[in-house]
Structure 1
């Protein structure tokens, strides 16, 4: 009789002490309904509260609970990606530890996997979060989908299930700062989606802020699109032509109305500020691409571990 397949469940944590118990219980309840063994991998990004202590207590009671403690906070992009690569299951599920990705979705993920999909992603066509933030997220997804060199899944949260074949491919990709959702689409396997309404966070505070959201937003653009660079080049040609045309018009106007036509300082100041702003914007975009190259060249490890439990 063949052994049961195993599913690895990865939950990245950072100061989620208030949610750990419910997260563990709901995952255990879901997996009890499925005919698979499982391991629950918690990777902690150097929490400053009692998250690590509580996970260790759970790990002492249940050997299926495994813990990786990072030496410092390596960010919300690197840490989950590293934990996925440490999984041993025939498939790996990634969900957030703040319970905004309901663990009950695992059942739907597994159904899609059993149908033959190697990649399953959770998408949120609606959410109980701030309407302004939700609108900005949807607008970003529409933008990145249009300019990306590969078709990306709109409104994907990052939660999902990934077959062992996908994990093996990810392990061969030497990317020290990956845009995970984009990589999954670049691999090319058909992607199944599981829509859900994202609930509001019940306990704790979100760890995302303007900088972290901007970071992952720019990462998606610089890693998967050359469109901004092409727009910079085309805009440069267009503005140069427009400047030449305006200069010619002023020249003709001066010749025709030599005594009455006065240029004044206003057009000069407006032109200086306008072109200065355009140049600053273009230099900033170029700097994002250079920063991405710098990160790739340094080849720093995804994560440095402080300790492991139950591995």
Structure 2
């Protein structure tokens, strides 16, 4: 058993903090609070449920306030506006009072009973317990292909398989503090929490269907989320510039060789069409390269400004 398990770290309580980001989830908040509180209470696990309202436009915050009155274990944090799921997770980690925390989606697609299994593994000394998907649930072929491509890029960047990774995981206070000390604004929790190391293990789970409401992730939002996280964690897209440069160089060398041969054979043409094609070809690659570089510069600009990841409006 973990040598520090029976010794509460200074300033924190030996409880489990369950961090629950919520965006426009008014319909399921009561059920989420009731189900998770019931499971943990039934296992005699001291806990707090920390809902983080990510600038919802519905009555999500009012529902959180109601649950805080109904359940002593429920706390709430409300953002001044929508800052995104990553910011909500980090706000939860910063506000958590427990010696360990579990991050779980509000829609109950992550099975809450797995929290108990994660907690028992933490009692055995594991500092990070990863929730890994045994399947991805019902997804369209296009969505599945996009997700696989995204995780292939991330896996190559971090050096380990992320194809089944999720935000559903338990972190020891040690790991929580390390994440909080990372000052980067565009932080990808799913990758960073695995990248930091520590003694880790896995718990498999099946993704469930939403019981209430619909997903708040549009195709546009998912694309933006993937692009932001790829560029925040890896510089791999920057290497595309080098690859495109090599391609243009090879094509240019081939065209030059052809022009020289035809010249010495006395078959040289005016070459207007060839010149136009090469200019369009190289010009498009240059513009793509500048776009990629420009996106990274914009991210550097965001980091240099030093604005906070989120702004808390009120708590309950």
Cα distance, 1:243 vs. partner?
A: 0.5
Residues 20 and 103 of structure 2 are in contact (CA less than 8 Å); yes or no, is this contact kept in structure 1? yes
Partner residue in 1 for 2:147: 137
Partner SS for 1:46 = coil
Cα distance, 1:251 vs. partner?
A: 2.4
Partner residue in 2 for 1:112: 121
Partner residue in 2 for 1:36: 45
Specify whether residues 200 and 61 from structure 1 end up closer, same or farther in structure 2 by C-alpha distance, changes over 3 A only. closer
TM-score by length of 2: 0.88
Partner residue in 1 for 2:248: 239
Cα distance, 1:200 vs. partner?
A: 2.2
Q: CA-atom RMSD, angstroms? A: 2.3
Q: How far apart in 2 are the matches of 1:268 and 1:205? A: 53
Partner residue in 2 for 1:290: 297
Partner residue in 1 for 2:271: 263
Partner residue in 2 for 1:171: 180
Specify whether residues 52 and 272 from structure 1 end up closer, same or farther in structure 2 by C-alpha distance, changes over 3 A only. same
Cα distance, 1:150 vs. partner?
A: 4.1
Name stretches of at least 5 consecutive residues in structure 1 with no aligned partner: none
Match of 1:302 among 283, 303, 309: 309
Q: How far apart in 2 are the matches of 1:115 and 1:273? A: 62
Residues 138 and 155 of structure 1 are in contact (CA less than 8 Å); yes or no, is this contact kept in structure 2? no
Match of 2:100 among 91, 112, 124: 91
Number of residue-to-residue matches in the alignment: 306
Cα distance, 1:160 vs. partner?
A: 0.8
Partner SS for 1:90 = strand
Q: How far apart in 1 are the matches of 2:175 and 2:66? A: 32
Structure 1 residue ranges (4+ consecutive) displaced by more than 6 angstroms after TM superposition: 1-4
Verify: 1:276 aligned to 2:283, yes or no. Answer: yes
TM-score by length of 1: 0.90
Name stretches of at least 5 consecutive residues in structure 2 with no aligned partner: 1-5
Cα distance, 1:178 vs. partner?
A: 0.8
